[in-house]
Structure 1
Amino acid sequence: MRFLILFLFFSNLTSFSQTITPFLTPYEKGNKNQTATYQEAIEFYTSLSQKYETVKLMEMGLTDSGEPLQLLIFNPEKDFDLKKNQNKAMLLINNNIHPGEPDGVDATMMLIRDLAIGKISVPKNTIIAVIPFYNIGGTLNRNSFSRANQNGPESYGFRGNDRNFDLNRDFIKSDTKNARSFAEIFHLVNPDVFIDNHVSNGADYQYVLTYIQTQHQKLGTDLGNYLKDQMTPKIRTQLLKKKIESIPYVTVYGATPEKGFTQMMDLPRYSTGYASLFHTIGYMPETHMLKKYEDRVKVTYEFMLETIAHTDANYLKIKELRNKNQFEFKAGNQYTLQWKIDSTKVEQIDFLGFESGYKKSEISGKDRLFYDQKKPFKKQIPYYHYYKPQKQVEIPSAYIIPKSWWNVIDLLKLNKVEMVQLDKDTLIEVEKYKIADYKTSTSAYEGHYQHSNTTVNKMIEKIVFKKGDYYIPTQQFAVKYLMETLEPEAPDSFFNWNFFDAILQQKEGYSTYVFEDLAVEILAKITTLKEKFEKKKAEDKAFSDNGSAQLDWIYKNSDYYESSHLTYPVYRVMN
């Protein structure tokens, strides 16, 4: 009888503990300095989805590793047709874009588990979608050394994917299968709020949690102000009630933060910058690399939880602002392509840091920076998070792209851009660009020798476009995506990412000894050209002293010069 009583007692105890926290994660089972492997996490989510009808795990498109991206959806109403549920808020979480920064992996496993078992409040108006591992190849490339500055976990993945791309530089150019499959997921989910979990690099300070949020001016006026003035402050207040201090991501490297820092301008190459092109509020939690892994996972969990809670309570407002935001960018309005910090607008913020100084390096004997964690401080420092336009362009009513540029057309289709093909050859008056100048990087960056400082000359011309060429109106949800990719002066334009490099090379030329005689005939025949030529020689001594330059000038101003050279093959319809 005594044995039976003990047996029942321990059976009930086991049953009780499972009721509290079934489906313990590898992180919880271990010493909380370990992150789940790819296989462990997928098995965990598979088991969870088999047990709870509110969770569904599905395979999506392929990655460079050959493995498919997984998409996990939590919906308390057990309906996983996302197109039917667009009346609800959609929140998308992305993990392990940099697999050496796996805090989000373990935090999200616990979060979805706690939602499924009802351990935490379940959102009524929000569906949560999760990409458990975005960089699968990097996740499988597990090691313990590639994050030299980071305090745990014991082992983790590698930053580059299977082709050594940094995926958080690939959202616009989409060189990887990962990015193309992500775009399919993103437009399927159509998230109102997006979270991409990371770990920081840079200065030392007291905070475990920092965050990058979409730059509010770049996002759009009303939606951006809502993010800056309401959503983020309320999330931070709720975190503070849990004794979690937070601050914007500290953009200081190789120096100390006391003199202040700026908000990161998240270009479209980055995940939150890409998301903002489709009017999505983006957050990139950046836990501090030197803090304990357990503490980092905890604050990542709480940040996601409070973001979900705020989204759920304000889902109608957020969806209304998103839908409204696209209409701010109308044809004829100015669109800012390039921004710069507005140093006249500065906010003094409280900062929890550590005293810093310099001491002799044991390696070089030279001065080296150090932070004294035994000397914490709290002081006000300047924070710059306002930008001002540096380069603007008028939004056209439409773009036209010849069907021959299929590489660009394919990316527009992937990103759900609305466009029609001309049903016959058509004469259309357009504004066209000639590339006037650009600089090209001398070192490789993410598979490209990227252009920058691009400038263009504009001209109006009537052009016969062919049947099948693409007419793309700007008055659509993807208007910002069109402006950022198709305007060559935008930092992350398709031009600057080398999509149009073929136009930068002349395909024909001339032999000087032949063209010398032809040039004489051209000047004799076209008097206006001769007048311009003589004027340029008179005003430009370097030109008048350079016979080759003179011959080339005549060639490039004659009918013999190919019109396609430096002509940007994306045309703007202005009325």
Structure 2
Amino acid sequence: MRFIVLFLFASLLVNAQKNLSTPYEKGNQNQSSTYEECVDFYQLLDAHSEKIEMKTMGLTDSGKPLHIVVFSENKDFSFTQNKAVLLVNNGIHPGEPDGIDATMMLMRDLANAKIKVPKNTIVVAIPVYNIDGMLNRNSFSRANQNGPEAYGFRGNGRNYDLNRDFIKSDTRNSRSFQEIFHTVNPDVFLDNHVSNGADYQYTFTCIATQHERLGEKLGNFFKNEMYPEMVKDMLKKKIDVIPYVNIHGAKPDLGYEQFTDTPRYATGYTTLFNTLGFVPETHMLKPYRDRVKTTYEFMVTAINYTDANWEKIKLLRKENLEDFKAGKSYPLSWAIDSSKVSYMDFKGYEGGYKPSEISGKDRLYYDKSKPFTKKIPFYGNYKPTKFVTIPKYYIVPQSQWQIIDLLKLNHIEMTPISKNEVIEVEVYKINSFQTGKNAYEGHYGHYNTTVTKNTEKMEFRAGDYKISTNQLGVKYLLETLEPEAVDSYFNWNFFDTILQQKEGYSSYVFEDMAKQILDENPVLKQEFEAKKQADKAFADNGGAQLDWVYKHSKYFEKAYMMYPVFRVN
């Protein structure tokens, strides 16, 4: 009887293990899970293992909720433990499903202790971030990709590229991600992708987030200790890792630059909260089974490194905030530092140009029968090109509720003003900017923005918000509220109403008023006459002269071009 019981138990265990095979494993290793299969798998895994918990989080544009799947060795699924947290994001571009399939196997193998189990690290995975795109399943949208047989689409249900939406948060997906991010507060973040572009021998490339954006202590640790050690570990597994090859329509033989992940991107966003971020990028032309394997192995490497160094990582994240105190300089924009160059042995393919059979014009090609290894330059350092002094706090009027909602979503601490109050503030006027001529992710964004600044005493109303920069989200505040920052709220069109005058004048009435204004203001009149002398076009244009007087008078609306967020030093 005892033998029969043991036999039945063993049979049940074997069947359970079989049921925990992923769709990828059950297939021909060129097939990826559907969304329904993925959710069903994690629900089964949750039921099978006490160390796995699947949680339902916020909504997406598809109407379906995001999930997170949590592995905790001690079966405690709270995020208040004294442990590191590693967050994995999958399927932001569902046509790049390597991470979806690899993470299903990873979480199961952690639950079954098939791989080394982290004792000091909680592993959290978003099974599928772009659910809408994954439901839009096809076999053709990734025209240049070698498998799998079917996959999702890059755009979400409203055709947003979610990896451009982390700052502006036009989608429910982004808003729900931010809730997840601030709930789990990850120390390390991975966002799994597949690359496009040049051809080369590597299966695996990686965007290691721009270390300078992290801050000196954390950035140096990330660049000089963490990432090199992880690369060494991958080499032990016979997997080469090189920086992401962001080259399209040209050969990489002459070298290339570090990808700059501004805050619109996943790791650019997570960097703002001192999270160490990586974007694994497998190569589109390599077999799907090889891409899934290398994605899996990099996640294992990241977990093992985090678990071995969790105390140091958490301490450095905390200490890093000292670099971003009021009164210090903060870099708003960056450029490649060409004086700092490293060289790597790059494994590529001989390539060149030959006449196209379509157009007859020269076309790029790679000859895979002629692999090579040659030293090429890599430019992996940036230098700041524009700075701002970190204020003590910002003041955001309560009328800017859209901005306030986004700040609250990102757990920015703010204090409402208790009563009407006159405060001396720094006021920005938008001096110049350029605007994109083509739609980009639902916006005609601004760039090359410049401001002028002056100090004024202004009255603020009870309910307006004071926002101290002495908080974890200080970099988020600077990158969104400083209009000259690349991905500022201004550059993403949140304040475009200030770019339009709301009041004007009737010329025939204002002509007499303009003369009176100049007669009563000799200094202004002198400036007016000097401009006529220096600018012939202005001197020949009566309308322009009248408009100049209007804009220099008390009648001209103060709100025009005045940026409605204020700084206090």
TM over 0.5: same fold? yes
| Counterpart-to-counterpart distance in 1, 2:173 and 2:389 | 33
| 1:42-75 residue CA offsets vs partner (Å, 9 max, x unmatched) | 1110011011111000111000000000111110
Indicate yes or no: 2:335 matched with 1:340: yes
State the AA in 2 paired with 1:74: F
Alpha-carbon distance change, 9 to 400 in structure 1, aligned in 2, over 3 angstroms: closer
Unaligned runs of 5+ in 2: none
State the AA in 1 paired with 2:66: L
Indicate yes or no: 2:61 matched with 1:68: no
Which residue pairs with 1:326 in the alignment?
A: 321
TM-score normalised by length of structure 2: 0.97
5 Å matches for 1:365-444? 365-444=360-439
Which residue pairs with 1:258 in the alignment?
A: 253
**Shift of residue 542, structure 1, vs aligned partner:** 2.5
| Counterpart-to-counterpart distance in 2, 1:569 and 1:531 | 32
Specify which of 238, 245, 248 is matched with residue 240 of structure 2. Answer: 245
Indicate yes or no: 2:138 matched with 1:152: no
Percentage of matched positions with identical amino acids: 61
Indicate yes or no: 2:167 matched with 1:172: yes
Specify which of 123, 128, 140 is matched with residue 128 of structure 1. Answer: 123
**Shift of residue 277, structure 1, vs aligned partner:** 0.4
State the AA in 2 paired with 1:94: N
TM-score normalised by length of structure 1: 0.96
Specify which of 28, 31, 39 is matched with residue 31 of structure 1. Answer: 28
Which residue pairs with 2:442 in the alignment?
A: 447
| Counterpart-to-counterpart distance in 1, 2:10 and 2:231 | 38
| Counterpart-to-counterpart distance in 2, 1:548 and 1:337 | 39
**Shift of residue 540, structure 1, vs aligned partner:** 2.4
Indicate yes or no: 2:133 matched with 1:110: no
Moved more, 185-194 or 21-30: 21-30
| Counterpart-to-counterpart distance in 2, 1:208 and 1:448 | 35
**Shift of residue 513, structure 1, vs aligned partner:** 1.7
State the AA in 2 paired with 1:107: A
| Counterpart-to-counterpart distance in 1, 2:164 and 2:17 | 41
Indicate yes or no: 2:53 matched with 1:53: no
Moved more, 18-27 or 210-219: 18-27
State the AA in 2 paired with 1:514: V
State the AA in 1 paired with 2:457: K
| Counterpart-to-counterpart distance in 2, 1:274 and 1:469 | 26
- Report runs of 4+ in structure 1 exceeding 3 Å deviation: 7-22
Specify which of 83, 90, 93 is matched with residue 88 of structure 1. Answer: 83
5 Å matches for 1:492-507? 492-507=487-502
| Counterpart-to-counterpart distance in 1, 2:14 and 2:59 | 39
| Counterpart-to-counterpart distance in 2, 1:507 and 1:20 | 68
Alpha-carbon distance change, 522 to 8 in structure 1, aligned in 2, over 3 angstroms: closer
Indicate yes or no: 2:203 matched with 1:208: yes
SS in 1 for 2:426: strand
**Shift of residue 237, structure 1, vs aligned partner:** 0.7
| Counterpart-to-counterpart distance in 1, 2:147 and 2:439 | 31
**Shift of residue 213, structure 1, vs aligned partner:** 1.1
**Shift of residue 545, structure 1, vs aligned partner:** 2.2
Which residue pairs with 1:198 in the alignment?
A: 193
State the AA in 1 paired with 2:488: S
Which residue pairs with 2:177 in the alignment?
A: 182
**Shift of residue 218, structure 1, vs aligned partner:** 1.1
Indicate yes or no: 2:337 matched with 1:357: no
Indicate yes or no: 2:546 matched with 1:547: no
| Counterpart-to-counterpart distance in 1, 2:287 and 2:200 | 14
Moved more, 153-162 or 387-396: 387-396
| 1:7-58 residue CA offsets vs partner (Å, 9 max, x unmatched) | 9999899678658766110000000001111110111100110111110001
SS in 2 for 1:92: strand
State the AA in 2 paired with 1:251: N
State the AA in 1 paired with 2:44: S
SS in 1 for 2:24: helix
Specify which of 282, 289, 305 is matched with residue 310 of structure 1. Answer: 305
Alpha-carbon distance change, 69 to 13 in structure 1, aligned in 2, over 3 angstroms: closer
State the AA in 2 paired with 1:366: K
| Counterpart-to-counterpart distance in 2, 1:12 and 1:523 | 98
Alpha-carbon distance change, 208 to 566 in structure 1, aligned in 2, over 3 angstroms: same
Indicate yes or no: 2:545 matched with 1:529: no
**Shift of residue 538, structure 1, vs aligned partner:** 2.1
**Shift of residue 465, structure 1, vs aligned partner:** 0.8
| Counterpart-to-counterpart distance in 2, 1:306 and 1:201 | 24
Specify which of 253, 263, 279 is matched with residue 274 of structure 2. Answer: 279
Specify which of 52, 62, 76 is matched with residue 79 of structure 1. Answer: 76
Unaligned runs of 5+ in 1: none
The alignment's C-alpha RMSD in Å is 1.7
SS in 2 for 1:238: helix
| 1:284-328 residue CA offsets vs partner (Å, 9 max, x unmatched) | 000000000000000000000000000000000000111111120
Specify which of 459, 465, 471 is matched with residue 466 of structure 2. Answer: 471
| 1:532-568 residue CA offsets vs partner (Å, 9 max, x unmatched) | 1112222223322222211111000001100000000
